[in-house]
A and B are shown apart, each in its own frame.
Chain A
């Protein structure tokens, strides 16, 4: 089973919930994998602290031109929808950052002057801690596109009973890649106007993708009750509430909040898990 943890707004507590949920579920004896798909700002392992046992490079394919064979016909430039090849003084120039690895230029070149070579855009780190298998992507700085790395990450740990996927913020392509194929979506929000606005976007995403979902309200009590009203009005299940208390903020700042949260909010996590089991009819020993 795959559980994705997402939110429209950044900084609402996705990672806190992902890590705490993984730790909580691992207590039941099921095999749990935790995947950090927020590859632009990967923070899961700051909290899980799994020793990294393996670091693998991740590459995408980009064109490389054999300038001896190339006649400068310009077919590659014409087929490229991303302006990643420009013919300059009769010679193609590859703008690697723009390339989407579609292979069009490679296939179209009449002289077979284009080969595809790997370009490293990030790494995938893996390890385990507290009985949880961890894998996290890390996009290189100045690399533009995270979805291929996220897609590759999601091939990992398929044999785990439960995979928990920590998603990037937002609702656009990196998030879609992260939540694709998941069985349940946990949306983390905070009870503020920004939190509510971005929760609406995330709910629309869940509905557009026909994913079952529920809401976790983090920092409950900090703002107003508009998020509660919104959920009630739209018949959205509030799975859990984690209070806005200074102790959690302080422990979070050191990367330590999960043990406090599990000690004090185990009922809430129990509710999250029971709800997911009910909605997905999953058979996992917890």
Chain B
């Protein structure tokens, strides 16, 4: 059975991608999926070569035919997204593709056209296959794109008889994150000992509990604030969530990124050692 390990954080910049990259180096027989479709970074440290790519049709956008439009204004009054302006032009940034305007247009002057919202990519890396995507600027429907990526990763894992998918998630708690964690085998939350880290950990724990996904926590940059680190330990205890590892602050994490490598490949420092140990514990939890 293919297992799916998701790395998320709630708060951005806690070290999700650095840890997912290290796991990509340490794990065997796996596929990687970068589900941060807004701002994908994992490929920057996996040295990937794209072998396949395709368009992502996120939804539809309305297009008004100026010639047949009789300017009755019905579309403007029906549109809940204020996407149709006085001159009977559709603002693509506001159009949500609901098609209500097209349905009710008496002169049938509105077409709903497929809209390319981004691209997905399958690439090879020295560590195994990677699927990732690039959502276009100002585009929506990131949840749908995440679902496509997870599907592609599962197909590749199945074809290659790999039994693990390592998923790098996005910050937040909304639609792309929900699409990333639903049905996953295990979610590893990467937090940091700061007021914002703890606040966001609380929210993301509530989310994984809501979707009933097995969850564990690790603290990155653990030595920045000991008091806050203890608060995280306490929070994990009261939520009955396993606290797996404390990773100390280590500048090698940044140096590895600059070298285009994962920290475990680049360094023998304290962060690399802690993440190697973390991987053992996470793989115990996943398998």
Contacts and interface: CB of A to CB of B under 8 A. Distances in A.
A168 interface: yes
Contacts of B10: 41
A72 interface: no
B158 interface: no
Nearest to A202: B39
Interface in A249-266: 249-250, 252-255
Given A41-B172, A107-B78, A205-B137, A194 B200 contact: no
Interface string B142-163: 1100000000000000000000
Contacts of B242: none
| Size class of the A contact interface (CB-based, 8 Å) | 35 or more
Interface of A is mostly: loop
Nearest to A143: B174
Contacts of B260: 193
Q: Which of B17, B78, B175, B199 is packed against the most chain A CB atoms within 10 Å?
A: B175
A171 B228 contact: no
B100 A103 contact: yes
B254 A223 contact: yes
B174 A172 contact: no
Contacts of B137: 171, 201, 204-205, 208
B138 interface: yes
Contact of A253 (B80, B100, B193, B258): B193
B41 interface: yes
A154 interface: no
Interface stretch (A10-18, A20-28, A267-275): A10-18
Nearest to A180: B93
Interface in B29-47: 37-39, 41, 44-45
Given A10-B171, A41-B171, A169-B172, A194 B38 contact: no
A222 B140 CA distance: 33
B254 A169 contact: no
A145 B173 CA distance: 10
B38 A172 contact: yes
Contacts of B200: 41, 43
A212 interface: no
Contacts of A108: 103
A280 interface: no
A163 interface: no
Nearest to A190: B13
Contacts of B139: 172-173
A12 B14 CA distance: 10
A170 B194 contact: no
A211 to B, nearest CB: 11
Nearest to B176: A172
B173 A41 contact: yes
Interface of B: 9-14, 17, 37-39, 41, 44-45, 59-60, 78, 80-81, 93, 96-100, 103-104, 135, 137-140, 142-143, 170-175, 177-178, 192-197, 199-200, 203, 206-207, 210-211, 221, 224-225, 228, 251, 254, 257-258, 260
Those 4 A-B pairs whose CB atoms lie nearest each other, nearest first: A10-B12, A11-B13, A170-B38, A102-B98
